[in-house]
Amino acid sequence: MKKLVLSVILAAFVFNIANAQELVTKKGFQILPEQGDFVIGFDAVPVVNFALNAVNIMNNTGQTAQHPGFVSGFNNIIVGKYFLEDNIAIRARFGFDAGNNSFTDYFDNPKDVFNYPGEPEKWGEVKDVTTNSGKDIFLGAGLEFRRGHNRLQGFYGGEVLIGLASNSTKTKYGVEMDKEAADNFYTNADGSLVSSGRVLKARSGNAITLGLRGFAGVEYFVAPKISLAGEFGWALGVVTNPRGSVKTETWDGTN
């Protein structure tokens, strides 16, 4: 009986030593983050989508996977942390998305169509070009608390969020708005009459988002200070949409 008890105690002692040693590598590197450490993280969803799509490039194999250059929303967020203590960290989030794309519509020059009806070989080609641009900026700051056992760590906390967004659309038309275009009923690429009026530029106001977010998740350290984590969050926010501006072009019979 004494041998059995001794064996159990010895096994428990060895197990505890093994667990303690697991938090430090053979070279003496600490696996978990410590007080004074800086940490940088990013959202792995775009990477996963890219990997899934690379396996089957012709199909969207991920929930939001598109082509390798696909960027969506605020997946492009960098998270920075500073550990005030081994189990408490302040964290900041930053995201920035900017896009600019152009759509070109080619169509027969209505002036040539009017002057050479039934002779398409004499018709030239003009184009309407629409350019869309937008940007989103995202900032966040909060406090994170951690608890865990060995390499597996749980974390939770809260943060304050702020976001800024704006977009604009500009169109350059291939047919000039003048008396000739009005008298001869020239059209734009979409079939609308040139003289009926058209939008040259539209710009939204700078939308502002303010919010509070709680979060919780788990993190597993696969190597010293390197980990994979999953996080769930719930946020409450307010969005303001200020007045934008629109620049139009109209024909009143003279200009």
pLDDT digits over 131-181, tens only? 999 998 989 999 999 998 788 999 999 999 999 999 999 999 999 999 999
| CB atoms inside a 10 Å sphere around CB 155 | 20
Instruction: Decide if 100 is inside a domain.
Output: yes
Structurally, the chain folds into a number of domains equal to 1
Spell 35-51 as b/e; 16+ CB within 10 A means b: eeeeeebebebbeebbe
Tokens read off for 161: 């969020």
Q: Which residues contact 19 (CB under 8 A, 6 or more apart)?
A: 150
Instruction: Decide if 98 is inside a domain.
Output: yes
What pLDDT shows up at residue 75? Answer: 56
> Residue 253: which region, alpha, beta or left (left: phi > 0; alpha: psi -120 to 50)?
left
What pLDDT shows up at residue 54? Answer: 58
Tokens read off for 62: 């991920």
95-106 confidence digits (pLDDT tens):
888 889 999 999
Q: Specify the 3-state DSSP secondary structure of 53.
A: helix
Domain range for 224: 76-249
Taking the C-alpha atoms of residue 10 and residue 19, their distance in angstroms, rounded to an integer, is: 14
Tokens read off for 33: 């983050």
Taking the C-alpha atoms of residue 231 and residue 44, their distance in angstroms, rounded to an integer, is: 11
197: part of which helix (H) or strand (E)? Answer: none
Angle, vertex CA 202, rays to CA 199 and CA 203, nearest 5: 175
What pLDDT shows up at residue 31? Answer: 86
Q: Which residues contact 227 (CB under 8 A, 6 or more apart)?
A: 153, 219, 220, 221
Tokens read off for 132: 């869309």
Q: Which residues contact 159 (CB under 8 A, 6 or more apart)?
A: 91, 93, 140, 141, 142, 143, 212, 213, 215
Instruction: Decide if 149 is inside a domain.
Output: yes
Taking the C-alpha atoms of residue 250 and residue 255, their distance in angstroms, rounded to an integer, is: 8
Instruction: Decide if 54 is inside a domain.
Output: no
Instruction: Decide if 236 is inside a domain.
Output: yes
Instruction: Decide if 181 is inside a domain.
Output: yes
What pLDDT shows up at residue 48? Answer: 61
Instruction: Decide if 43 is inside a domain.
Output: no
What pLDDT shows up at residue 15? Answer: 38
Residues of the chain with pLDDT under 70: 1-22, 44-76, 254-255
Q: What φ, ψ does residue 147 adopt, rounded to 5°?
A: -145, 145
Instruction: Decide if 62 is inside a domain.
Output: no
